[in-house]
Homo-oligomer: A and B are copies of this chain.
């Protein structure tokens, strides 16, 4: 019988994260202060974020960073996650490709987000913080942060995108179960939220609005730090545990990926699985192809502009050099809240410019078709976000069927979709549609001003 799952023993779990910034031939451009347009230092960021996260954010010299012992201890609650060979999916597609997936859906709270929530809360606690706040789209990050805050004895306040709160009420319940406070964004509890609602009373929220509100709360509340689930460099560093494990696991499987695929919202799960492999493209002449799968309703990688832009809708964050659709871009209400973000992280944006990776945009219906096929073959109902990676994988596997190539494809199953059953119900009833954005809709938004 062929081996299906590949696991690591606790002693094989990596004890360091990987920081691709140190190995990039062209470093990302620096984040700028929005008023002075001067590059930011650790001290400029540290009033919002835990200081250690700020240092990691700007660290372009250390390829590997030690995982603190208390974080490693919590990782061992659930890591390593399985690397799984998707034999049944391969069979259903009739492809000669070898499809592997890294199963982050079995983590506490059901997604990869916990990998960064734990260190962010640990550092916050170490530095004397009492409260943390954040935004959440699909709710995966908010749930993970609520748990991590409870683990390290912090109070948590979460701004959840309003549309996602309606689509997935269970996620708010999960956060409350861990003792967190949850507000729908845009809310009336911050100045940023009130401004947004005043301009657009029916605004259903986006990651951009929720970030504005959480940043404002952190800036105006003593002892409160802001945490972010994606986009930023330190998040990609923490998430590298996924790819570092996968590297060892692929070795156990006796293969090396020709392609690495992940869905793309701000880049946390993509960077997590991709960067440790991309390192070998940069340093060792490997030629793995890296594909970031985004919704065609929010296509910043494939149709955005590279420029300095704000990370949030209200313009409270530093200016970040990134592929963006404009910080006031309002993505359609697709059932993949984690991907409804206007910009890409600084690292990913530079890597795209330098040709190390590329994006692919996928219509909503294709993602659900892929998700249902995956569920019926591999037994796991994927998060609609993760279904973007599955759909991109299926496209590539079907190309292999055409050409007869036995390519090795690795994708990241970033989370399960058990909280997203309303969306599956709508799909099965034929009530979902595609929302490909037009060039006109993209053109009317604002970048960096």
Contacts and interface: CB of A to CB of B under 8 A. Distances in A.
Interface stretch (A27-35, A45-53, A358-366, A417-425): A417-425
Contact of A170 (B1, B3, B72, B418): B418
Interface stretch (A285-293, A374-382, A439-447): A374-382
A177 B424 contact: yes
Contacts of A151: 88, 376, 379
A69 interface: yes
A379 B77 contact: yes
Contacts of A65: none
B418 A379 contact: no
A170 B69 contact: no
A380 B174 CA distance: 10
Given A5-B10, A5-B76, A108-B379, A428 B177 contact: yes
Nearest to A173: B421
A84 to B, nearest CB: 8
Nearest to A375: B177
Copies assembled:
2
A353 interface: no
B421 A77 contact: no
Nearest to A418: B418
B72 A1 contact: yes
Interface residues of A, number: 45
Interface of A is mostly: helix
A150 interface: yes
Given A5-B76, A177-B372, A428-B176, A170 B421 contact: yes
Interface string A171-200: 001101111000000000000000000000
A362 B7 CA distance: 37
A64 interface: no
Interface string A228-253: 00000000000000000000000000
Given A108-B378, A151-B379, 8 more contacts: A4-B77, A5-B78, A108-B380, A147-B375, A170-B418, A173-B428, A177-B424, A179-B376
Interface of A: 1, 3-5, 7, 9-10, 69, 72-73, 76-78, 84, 88, 106, 108-110, 114, 147, 150-151, 169-170, 173-174, 176-179, 372, 375-376, 378-381, 418-419, 421-422, 424-425, 428
- Nearest 10 CB-CB pairings of A with B: A108-B379, A173-B421, A170-B421, A106-B106, A4-B76, A173-B425, A150-B376, A177-B424, A418-B418, A147-B379
